[in-house]
Structure formats: structure tokens, C-alpha cells
Amino acid sequence: MANDDKYPVESDRRRFVKGVVGGSVLSGVLATGAVTVSSATNPTGGGGGIMNYFGANRTLGPAPRGLPQIPMEINDDGELLGVWPEPESETLADGSEYVRSAAEIGGVEYTTEWYQYCGLQTFDGVVPDADGEDALFRYDAGGYDWMDDVSQGEAMLTEHFEDYDEFDTAIGDPGQGKPATGTWRSQNVPPEQTVPILVIKTDQIDLDEMDERTRNWIEASCPEDDDGGRYIAYVNKCTHFCCVPGYRNLGGAPDFGADNKIYCNCHNSVYEPFNPVEDQFVSLPRAGDN
């Protein structure tokens, strides 16, 4: 697994592609609570520095923060996809330029820099202008028995989740929702650069319990289906040492109160799947920015 702390040098694969969200040119300034981050005062240049993001709340274990959430959309064909804003070139105060994918979603500045951890920043499919990568969520080899009915690489469809309210697994309580594991932006990259994702359709997200900012974000980033179920998606890579956690499919979960939670059995970190929180981490500077 790649785990370098450097952004890759420019490669031939990095080209401008159309994103899902129209080209929103953002200010590069994010104010949230007591923290204000500005690219003008960021000593590490474009893409580096303190980063606010929404993620699954870490409730137990050594993981330093939550799994980054992937804002979702459903297209006209009923396919599930992750938002990847159209890349834009930005000029920094020192005259250098860098390419960034960012958009405002539900009042929150979303940027694909949220995924600069665990070496993901070195993956060809995660650079803002990666060539040939679509935004669709695609099934992987199968984290759940029900996925025997779909094919690896097939796009995730809403029709596959219609039984979400009666879905059950050997671990946890029934009625929690229906999960799937998959990949994102990993169609044209080496296997070791695959981005694992977890998608859950559920009715367990309680908007009434959230503050207004979080509620607005969830309503905008977790699409609601016609039957009232809502989809939520995460990068399924533990923020501790980058293992792939499991949601109700790893046997040790009950020992750590994680029957209905996302559980990483490498060192027993637990994440709450239905109550995302705003968190921070220090993202890495982009090569050539300094």
C-alpha cells in the first residue's frame, strides 16, 4: 500500500476532466467556529494546511479522526456517484498555480483535498484532474453476501438497495440499513491505488439531532431515495494505519460495542456511521506549490 507523504510528480495521466458539479471557483477561505483557514496565510501553499471536513465520528480506538465522507448524488439512471467538482486552476499569492476540485455543498466547502491521507494523495485517480475516471460508485469483490447478486466493477444502482429497511446481517440489529462495499475513481489505476468505499442506505440518520450546519450538509450530501431511505458514503480506509474497516461484517465488532458501527479490527477503532461530524486534519502540500 502506498503511504508516501508526498504528492506525486505531475504525470501524463493528469488532465482536465469534467466533474459532477459545475465549476465553482472558491475563495480558498473557510471559516468554521473558532478556526479560519486562508490560502493566503497558509505557509505550505495550495492544498496544504489545516483542512475541515465532514466524516464518520470516531468513537473508540486509536484512529485520530473520522473517515472522510463522500458527498453523493443519484443520476437519472439511478446510479450512485460521488461528487467530484470540476477542476479549476488557482493562482497563489506567489504566482504559482495549482489545480483544485472544490464546490460549496449545503453551505460547506467540499474539496477533494479531504482525501489527502493514508497515501490516497498519491493515487492517480485522486488528483483533481485525473484522466479517465468517472464519479460512479462501483462494487468491489464483495464485502457482503448479498453482493453475490452483482458483479465486481458494476455501477451501484438504487434498485439494489430497495430492501434496505428489512436488510439484516449476522452482526448488529435489523433495520439499520443496507451496506455495500465498492471502489471509486479506480477504473484506470494500478490495483494498489484502489480507493475503497462504504455506502449505506438507511433511515437511521436523525436530522433533528443535528446542528443546522451539519443538517444542511447531510441533506445536500446524502441523497434521499423515493422510499425515504438516505444514502451515505465514506472512504473506507481507517485514519489510524489505513486498514479497511467493516460495517457489521467483522466478527470482533461486538467486543467493542460496534455491532451497528464501523469497526476496524486492526487496532479496534470504532466509527459512528450515521452521525457525521466536522473534523480537521493537516492536508499535504501539492508538489510544485512551494
Where on the chain is the footprint of ligand FES (CB under 6 A)?
61-63, 238, 240-241, 243, 264, 266-267, 269
In the bound state with ligand FES, the residue whose beta carbon lies nearer, of 200 and 264, is 264
Residue type, 183: T
In the bound state with ligand FES, the residue whose beta carbon lies nearer, of 240 and 286, is 240
In the bound state with ligand FES, the residue whose beta carbon lies nearer, of 6 and 267, is 267
Residue 245 C-beta: closest distance to ligand FES, Å: 6
Residue 121 C-beta: closest distance to ligand FES, Å: 18
Alpha helices in the chain (DSSP H): 212-221
In the bound state with ligand FES, the residue whose beta carbon lies nearer, of 42 and 239, is 239
Q: What is the dihedral of CA 271, 272, 274, 279, to 10 degrees?
A: -70
In the bound state with ligand FES, the residue whose beta carbon lies nearer, of 60 and 74, is 60
In the bound state with ligand FES, the residue whose beta carbon lies nearer, of 37 and 238, is 238
DSSP 59-90: EESS--SPEEB--EEE-TTSBEEE--PPEEEE
Residues 254 and 97: their CA atoms lie apart, in Å, by 49
Residue 63 C-beta: closest distance to ligand FES, Å: 5
Residues 151 and 162: their CA atoms lie apart, in Å, by 18
Residues 236 and 101: their CA atoms lie apart, in Å, by 21
In the bound state with ligand FES, the residue whose beta carbon lies nearer, of 135 and 264, is 264
Neighbours of 208 (CB within 10 A): 5
What's the helix, strand, coil split of the chain in %, to 5? Answer: 15, 35, 50
| 3-class secondary-structure state, position 195 | strand
Residue 256 C-beta: closest distance to ligand FES, Å: 10
Q: How many helices (H) and strands (E) does the chain have?
A: 1, 16
Neighbours of 232 (CB within 10 A): 25
Residue 268 C-beta: closest distance to ligand FES, Å: 6
Residue 120 C-beta: closest distance to ligand FES, Å: 14
Residue 238 C-beta: closest distance to ligand FES, Å: 3
Residue 139 C-beta: closest distance to ligand FES, Å: 23
CB 49 within 8 A of CB 282: yes
In the bound state with ligand FES, the residue whose beta carbon lies nearer, of 210 and 266, is 266
- SS (HEC) of 248-269: CCCCCHHHHCCCCCEEECCCCE
